[in-house]
Copies of this chain bind each other. A is one copy, B any other.
Amino acid sequence: MCAFEKKEKYNVAIAGVTGAVGETFLNILAERNFPINKLKPLASARSAGKKITYQGKEYEVEELGHDSFEDVDIALFSAGGGRSLEFAPSAAKAGAVVIDNSSAYRMDDDVPLVVPEVNPDDAFKHKGIIANPNCTTIIMVVALKPLYDFSKIERVVVSSYQSASGAGAQGMYELEEQAKAWAKGEKLNVENFQYQLLFNVIPHVDKFMENGYTKEEMKMYNETKKIIGDNNVLVSATCVRVPVLTAHSESIFVETKDKISVEKAKELFSNAKGLQVMDNPEKNEYPIPLLAAGKDDCYVGRIREDISCENALSFWVCGDQLRKGAALNAIQIAELLIK
């Protein structure tokens, strides 16, 4: 169990503060009025010296180093897996609790993997590092958990529609620049994705593994088991990048042990934290990424009894992967600790 000293205000470091998630960390800390004593914005040498603003006050970004964490209570990391592996142990050793947004520690037995709506108690089992799950996984498990609590889940088949900013601020920028170039009849620049993303979809998020799945797809398989705490929950994912700026969408088929009616599913979803039911097809009301972007909650709709299987539901979820899929979830973990 963690020995986390309760204070009135906390010293908070943000590693990777200049990235898409880093920026969202700042917005959400301010929105939620997180009790910050001292803010320490950190980034790689390339970004050190840059200025960021938090609650009207300007801060200079410092270079992330092994000695960055003296007096830090909470270190929010979103600087890539390599930097987490290198610097998170130093932060933990200096006495900070690291909440790490990378995949580096997620499957480590000593590191809890936490979605506050799903497994809040796990947060308190940390040994200095808590992992924030993969964004696509977080958005899915927020919806799966209320179903799981009603009836065990046997299998999930999910296809994702992942936005450009899932690949960082530069991914979103590339998509915007492609649209501008296309409108002017100019050549489209392709750097962050394997192919042009504008007017295209790409079934390739993160690296390919030996079994033909991508790392992103295997994260959904492995992390879901760990977060829900049941190795019998099997997830087959196909992860696809789509030309959307922010917010991921997922088409989810879930086979349950017992039958769950649509009415029951809506009731379970409605009572779940972090989830909004948006399901009035006759009024064209269902989740879309344009509406989910910038929101804290995930949205679920298109809920129907599956037509191919007796005990199964199909539904559609959208969530802002920079917020609930990353920064918000990490800050909610921090809020659990200081509560």
Chain A residues within 8 Å of B, Cβ to Cβ: 155-157, 159, 161, 175, 179-180, 182-184, 194-196, 198-204, 208, 211-213, 221, 234-236, 238, 240, 242-245, 249, 251, 253, 262, 281-282, 284, 286-290, 301-309, 312, 314, 316
Contacts and interface: CB of A to CB of B under 8 A. Distances in A.
10 contacts: A199-B290, A200-B244, A204-B286, A208-B282, A212-B281, A212-B305, A236-B306, A236-B307, A236-B314, A238-B316
Nearest to A212: B304
A308 B183 contact: no
The copy count of this chain in the complex is 2
A200 B159 contact: no
Contacts of A179: 179, 182-183, 198
B240 A251 contact: yes
A312 B309 CA distance: 15
A33 B45 CA distance: 64
B288 A201 contact: yes
Given A212-B302, A238-B251, 16 more contacts: A156-B308, A157-B157, A179-B179, A179-B183, A199-B245, A199-B290, A201-B288, A201-B289, A203-B302, A212-B303, A212-B304, A236-B306, A236-B309, A236-B312, A238-B314, A242-B243
